[in-house]
Amino acid sequence: MAALKLGSLPAAALGGVATTTTKKCERLSGGFRVVADGGCDNGFPSFLPKEVEKIKDPFARNLARRIKRLPVQIERSDSSIMSSCVQPLVQSDANPVVLLHCFDSSCLEWRRAYPLLEESGLEAWAIDVLGWGFSDLGRLPPCNVASKRYHLYQLWKSYIKRPVVLVGPSLGAAVAIDFAVNYPEAVEKLVLINPSVYAEGTGNLAKLPKVVAYAGVSLLKAYPLRLYANILAFDGIPLSKNLDWTNVGRLHCHMPWWKDATVNFMVSGGYNVVSQIKQVKQKTLIICGENDKIVSNQLAMRLLFELPKARMQRVPDSGHLPHVEKPRRVVKLITDFARSKDNNDDNTRRIQVRFVTKLKAPYKVPTTAIAIPSDLSRLGLSSIVNNLLQAVNSECKTEPFDFLIDGELVRMSLEQFLIAKGISAEKILEVEYIRAVAPRKEEEPSPHDDWVSAVDGSSPRFILTGCYDGLGRVWKEAGLCTHILEGHSGAISSVSVITSEGAGSATVATASKDRTLRLWKFDADDNSDHPSKIRAFKILRGHNASVQSVAANTSGDMVCSGSWDATINLWRTNESDTGGDAVSIKKRKVNNKAEESQSEGEAVSTLVGHTQCVSCVVWPRKETIFSASWDHSVRQWDAETGKDVSDIFCGKVLNCIDIGGEGSALIAAGGSDPILRIWDPRKPGSSAPVFQFSSHSSWISTCKWHNSSSLHLLSSSYDGKVMLWDLRTAWPLSIIDTHKDKVLCADWWKSDSVVSGGADTQLRISSDIFIQ
């Protein structure tokens, strides 16, 4: 590797070089030429451990060949050590970028990003922090925080001599903050990558006897431990690459002084920069790997809140070391930030806000106004509230929150929201926070033998499902089926709980493609591990085509059904019809035991008016039935007279309908496009929806209002997703994508869970959803 021209070296530093290194310093005009130790035939510097030969990663091998040692003065000494680093090949007019590394690592951490930084035209230095990397520490200088800081300062003072953009990943962020606060003249800007800055030093490790400390440090070198650390650090890289990257990460551990230097650092107490964070004056970019398993993104948000001049960027599909996994993305962020001008503060503008809530303790934060970055969105705001809560109670668990300004949910950055709504940012902004409407737990799936086409969660005692295998099933909880409803000869298309209150039996209805409906009774308190097979007590015949939907009225004495024959039939649910034909079927004997007889019922009345399939019916009030159809219409019927009271036409085939919202008067419907529409029939003369939600990407199969909230509803779709909605925002509150195929049905259960079924043959339960 060609030698590089450097700035003048201090005389004291040169005095210490002659006796400690085989390097030569040749006088040149304007400075010295530093020549590496005699290299090997393979181009690696001779001071690197021989294990460098085992590394396969071409980026690591190339960067290793460029590592140099420069004389750098150490604290309280006139002598120098030979300090390892990678120097820039060219000098740029812009201020240099100085790259630090993580705890117990080396400059090889930048093997994939460093060439890209050079390609972008930046002058970049990759420096080994004192005590790690490949420096010559044969004299065993102190490796505590003060010594690391002084060493970095002397290297900067001797060779770089200009304010730098200082980049620190993980613990390197603590190194960077400590240096920037103590030597502000040396640092123009900071870039902190997945910063580990809230640890209180090395904690109890500092109190260990040295013999125990040495034993503990020896474990750090162990290959299995390093491999496990890599598995945590990276977001799902192949094992073969992980094995090689483990060799890269532990290469410096083969240096003869490594164990002594690391113990020296550990027993010295390590970095504790919490009190320095608010003293940072430099503009700071925080970069977070979205899937970091080592340092929580919540801590990065806390840092964003506490640093006076900070902004944050996330790197998708990356873990703790995004500069290794996603180097192009990280280099672009660093390059753009390094070259950005100071005269544009839009991204770091701060807004005075006061957080308020109707939640009870322990979810209340102090109501004093605080200044926060204007580019924060829901996730950032949630992190701030969690940090405020944890400042009061350290045991408070992290909780996702949603935020309202003037009664509207925030689904963009504060800056964008204020501009969109014309709200002034000059006054203190009152922001209400509520617990986020999102599942916090996913239960184990409950498998079926075919598509799960129907589900009813209206009873808190059980879940009722219908399947394309012609069977109905009753589930007590995830994976626990207590009853199987046998009898249909075709796929079940719809199910409905008729009555389930009180102890004892429950009554349910099923509708099928075999043109019949069936009524069933079973013991809802049965907790048997082995499902009981039961027969219907009543079969309802009368439709001329597949029955698509069934719904019970509020009293449970009647059900209505919609069919592909374009009609709606009304039926009684009692065991013997007094007003129509009741055909008794002879009792069968099974295992010498007589089963209950079945009866057949005929429709009490038929509602005619639709011209195509009646895809969905609901019976929310005794006197009123609503229906949706493939003829593009929503119709309201008088259940007593059978008259069509009102019609709404939307121009699309409709699959589902539900009634709820304010005053239980809003009509939600979905069908053959991705739009969930909501009408308010109390507004006469207009068939235009009052709300439209369009985040799905395929047909909508189900929509259901929450049973106790007038603002919340769900929808399911053939796009494989269930979405939770709030009328106060056009964006979904939460997207449940646990299904692997079309979602055919969904419902609320127990007010705090969502149950759904689909073409993947699974019943899924998403639980612990808080509805305020």
276 vs 273: CA distance, rounded Å: 5
**DSSP one-letter string for 420-473:** HHT--SSSPEEEEEEE--S-SEEPPPEE-SS-EEEEE---TT-EEEEETTS-EE
Structure tokens at 614: 């009646």
* All residues at 6 or more sequence positions from 730 whose CB lies less than 8 Å from its CB, including other chains: 411, 693
**H or E stretch including 72?**
strand 67-73
Q: Which of 101, 320, 483, 739 is catalytic?
A: 320
**What are the backbone angles phi and psi of residue 398, rounded to the nearest 5°?**
-65, 135
Residue 768 to residue 678: CA distance in whole angstroms: 26
Q: Is 292 a catalytic residue?
A: yes
Locate tokens 């190194």: which residue? 175
- Which of 158, 170, 446, 717 is the catalytic position? 170
Token pair listed for 191: 């870039």
Give the Cβ contact number of residue 30 at 10 Å: 8
Residue 144 contacts residue 269 (beta carbons within 8 Å): yes
Confirm whether 320 is a catalytic residue. Answer: yes
- For residue 258, the tally of other CB atoms under 10 A from its CB is 22
644-649 vs 633-638, strand pairing mode: antiparallel
Provide CB contacts within 8 A for 417, sequence distance 6+: 405, 410, 423
Active site residue 709: no
Residue 154 is inside which H or E element, if any? helix 145-155
- Using the structure block, give the residue that is written with the tokens 């972008």: 120
Coil/strand/helix, residue 485: strand
Distance (Å, whole) CA 252 – CA 241: 19
Short-list 553, 413, 434, 448, CA closest to 497: 553
CB 74 within 8 A of CB 13: no
Residues pairing with 725 in the sheet: 713
DSSP characters over 557-600: SEEEEEETTSEEEEEE-SSS-SSS-EEE-PPPEETTEEPPP-EE
3-state DSSP helix/strand/coil % of the chain, to nearest 5: 25, 35, 45
Closest CA to 129 of 159, 169, 161, 184: 169
Which residue in this structure is represented by tokens 């950005």?
340
Helix (H) or strand (E) holding 715: strand 712-717
CA end-to-end span of the chain: 66
- d(Cα 486, Cα 473) in Å, to the nearest integer? 9
Residues carrying an active site annotation: 170, 292, 320
